[in-house]
Amino acid sequence: MMGIMGRWQSGASGRLKDAALGLFLTQGYDGTTVAEIAAAAGLTERTFFRHFADKREVLFVDQDEFERVFLSGLPERAEDPMTMIVGVLDGAAALFPEDRRPWSRARRSVIAANEALQERELLKMSSLAMALTRALTARGVDAASAALAAETCVTVFRTSFALWVAEGERRTFTEIQNAVLARLQALLT
Amino acid sequence: MMGIMGRWQSGASGRLKDAALGLFLTQGYDGTTVAEIAAAAGLTERTFFRHFADKREVLFVDQDEFERVFLSGLPERAEDPMTMIVGVLDGAAALFPEDRRPWSRARRSVIAANEALQERELLKMSSLAMALTRALTARGVDAASAALAAETCVTVFRTSFALWVAEGERRTFTEIQNAVLARLQALLT
């Protein structure tokens, strides 16, 4: 069976994520045990814990990679702030190809149903904004401008992500993000 | 003794807050007990718990009032988004008159030293952005624009707050906030 993960990940880790997300969707996050996830993936609990520290990490394990790729679009050298923001947003969009949309949509739905997971997601976004602020500061941007640009990037990204995973949405992540950035620029003038 | 609270609050609640903040600053948040706070304020623990659910609430008890005042600057009827953003920011600035700066500065320093308090503060800001998003949506703004405008308001507010409480800063909250908003507009063009 082709799971929610689609083609973008495979191996034991991918199978476990796929099994977990399917169970979270059908029987709830709190109502799912690691034993059930492992069994649904045809693997042992021991294998589960080789890949994930706990059940929650199935949904958040990619954080380091996420931050790395998110920041990878930032130009090496200082440019004008808008060029840097656009570079970061383009890098972020690369994380969300079409074949990831079903997984992202399912993950979003699981997180939306659980307050503790929402808080974890919020902290992840805050951590991302802080990493980006540091990266901008390291390129000579003053602290207040760096924080503003970083928070704005994350706001545009989050808003775009919410639209991208909405039912029936067909535009690519890049198309949505360009439209959201343009809308923000229009709002502020 | 005129405490950190200055003139802007008084009564048992104000004395407890003042005593708590002083202890948090000198012996750390984790190293301070409710019994010590009550004793330092010359009150009983029972009185403490009439005003605050727990030690942490000393720093966060004003959340409802904070959100209410924050939103009070929003025009009753729909205006163009920029007018609504400026209205909200002006309302927010009214929460931070000069005589509150020492308390805010001390509170900020206590929170910066404690990860759990930082998370609590982050959730407070997220709750604020969601309340503002709902208020904008209720005035007919589409969901994505409302979220963008609300998050942007909170970003400008947070950045301004960090500058306002910085050592040596003398500009008013309003002056700082106007400068931060102008900087954001410049960043995005």
Q: Which residue matches tokens 């997220």?
A: B126
Mean pLDDT of B56-72: 86
Tokens linked to B25: 């600053």
**Angle, in degrees to the nearest 10, between helices A63-72 and A115-138:** 40
pLDDT, position A3: 56
Distance (Å, whole) CA A147 – CA B35? 39
Instruction: Please judge whether A185 and B187 are an interchain contact, meaning their C-beta atoms are less than 8 angstroms apart.
Output: no
Q: Which residue matches tokens 């609640």?
A: B13
pLDDT, position B2: 47
Mean pLDDT of B14-30: 94
pLDDT, position B98: 94
pLDDT, position A8: 46
Mean residue pLDDT across chain B: 90
B159 touches chain A (CB under 8 A): yes
pLDDT, position A1: 42
Specify the 3-state DSSP secondary structure of B37. Answer: helix
Tell me the nearest-neighbour CA distance from A108 into chain B, angstroms. Answer: 17
pLDDT tens per residue, range A80-138: 888 888 899 998 998 899 999 999 999 999 999 999 999 999 999 999 999 999 999 99
Dihedral (CA of B167, A126, B157, B14) sign: negative
pLDDT tens per residue, range A141-184: 998 899 999 999 999 999 999 999 999 999 999 999 999 999 99
Tokens linked to A35: 């034993």
Residues of A in contact with B148 (CB under 8 A): 155-156, 159, 180, 183-184, 187
Q: Which residue of B has its CA nearest to A84?
A: B187
Architecture in CATH for domain B11-51: Orthogonal Bundle (1.10)
Dihedral (CA of B109, B110, B113, B116) sign: negative
Which among A12, A13, A11, A20 has a CA at the least distance from the CA of A40? Answer: A20
> For the structural domain made of B62-187, what CATH number should be given?
1.10.357.10
- Where do the structural domains in chain B lie, given as residue ranges? 11-51, 62-187
Write the CB contacts of B14 (distance below 8 Å, at least 6 apart in sequence): B5
User: Is A172:B130 a contact under the CB 8 Å cutoff?
Assistant: no
pLDDT, position A185: 93
Tokens linked to A95: 């994380």
Mean pLDDT of A66-92: 86
pLDDT, position A160: 95
A43 touches chain B (CB under 8 A): no
Of the candidates A123, A147, A156, the beta carbon closest to that of B119 is on A123
Distance (Å, whole) CA A147 – CA A134? 9
Q: Which residue of B has its CA nearest to A154?
A: B151
pLDDT, position B3: 55
Residue B68 confidence (pLDDT) above 60? yes
Residues of B in contact with A82 (CB under 8 A): 187-189
Mean pLDDT of A44-69: 90
Q: Is the ipTM value over 0.90, yes or no?
A: no
Reported confidence tier of residue B61, pLDDT bands at 50, 70, 90: confident
Residue A15 confidence (pLDDT) above 80? yes
| More confidently predicted of B130 and A10 | B130
Among B148, B152, B159, which would you mutate to test the A interface (most chain A Cβ atoms within 10 Å of its Cβ)? Answer: B148
Tell me the nearest-neighbour CA distance from B8 into chain A, angstroms. Answer: 28
Instruction: Please judge whether A148 and B126 are an interchain contact, meaning their C-beta atoms are less than 8 angstroms apart.
Output: no
| Window B:110-129, CB contacts with A under 8 Å | 119, 122-123, 126
Of the candidates B119, B126, B147, the beta carbon closest to that of A159 is on B147
Residue A50 confidence (pLDDT) above 90? yes
Reported confidence tier of residue A10, pLDDT bands at 50, 70, 90: low
Q: Which H or E run includes B111?
A: helix B101-112
Distance (Å, whole) CA A56 – CA A76? 34
Residues of A in contact with B82 (CB under 8 A): 187-189
Distance (Å, whole) CA A71 – CA A149? 13
